[in-house]
Structure 1
Amino acid sequence: MGKERSAGFLIFRRSNSQVEYLLLKASEMGMHWGPPKGHVEPGEDDITTAARETREEAGYSIDDLYIHKEPYKMHYKVRENDKTVVYFLAELLDAKKDPQLSHEHTAFRWVAKDDAIQLTNFVHFTKMVNHFNEKIDNL
């Protein structure tokens, strides 16, 4: 059994005083919805990976975001491998700036918390978005 580690940003924006989360539809692997994330490469820390993956997958640079540096970690098994995914909350500074998708994704949506949970349909994501949503309420 191996170990995998990935990192990403849960990106949100404030639109008409409503919080919306960015979800990307994967072009492969069941075409699931999720935030930008990817494997940590040798020599990278989690925030560097999250920034690289967000730039590659959504076209947002670190300058487009305000990063909240408190991580949320989830652990689960994928094909008998232990997987750790680390997310950071990131606010899009220009709420009108749409992402520029890479070949890894076919669509994006800005959705409210409950819609994000329904689209992803993944228990670990639900816990993470609920955790971060409470943080946003206190910002």
Structure 2
Amino acid sequence: MTTRPKVLYASEPALDAAEFRRVLVESGLGVTRPIDDDVRLKAMLANADLVLTARLDALGKPLIGLARGITDFSWVCYISELAVCKSAQGLGIGKGLLDEARRQLGPSVAISLISVPDAVGFYERIGMARMADAFWFGRER
């Protein structure tokens, strides 16, 4: 019988951009994020209202997942990244991060996000509802 490692969830508004970049790359989200633009990564972290982390309770407490969100703490929180290192996927880390976001935001705040195609099944399995009629203007750079 194998035991799952203990995971520590926390708010880390001052998360280091290098750790952020590493998890984006190791999760697979690096292909859709500006991982080669340190200034932009730092701005993404500095301007987020919610930066939650998942770390292994082990020597050095390595970062294995994160959730970054923009919110008014009253009505809605948009999760712009939910990233879990591939080596830790399937251990409940993504759900744990969303559970922590829900705990910190409280029952009056809805959570929304845009999923990459490969993660749609995950969000459906954990009970998130699909939203119809979502719209967006794409980035120019």
TM-score of the two chains, using structure 2 as the length reference = 0.28
> Rg larger in 1 or in 2?
2
Q: TM-score, normalised by structure 1?
A: 0.28
Q: By percentage of residues, which structure has more strand?
A: 1
Which structure is higher in helix share?
A: 2
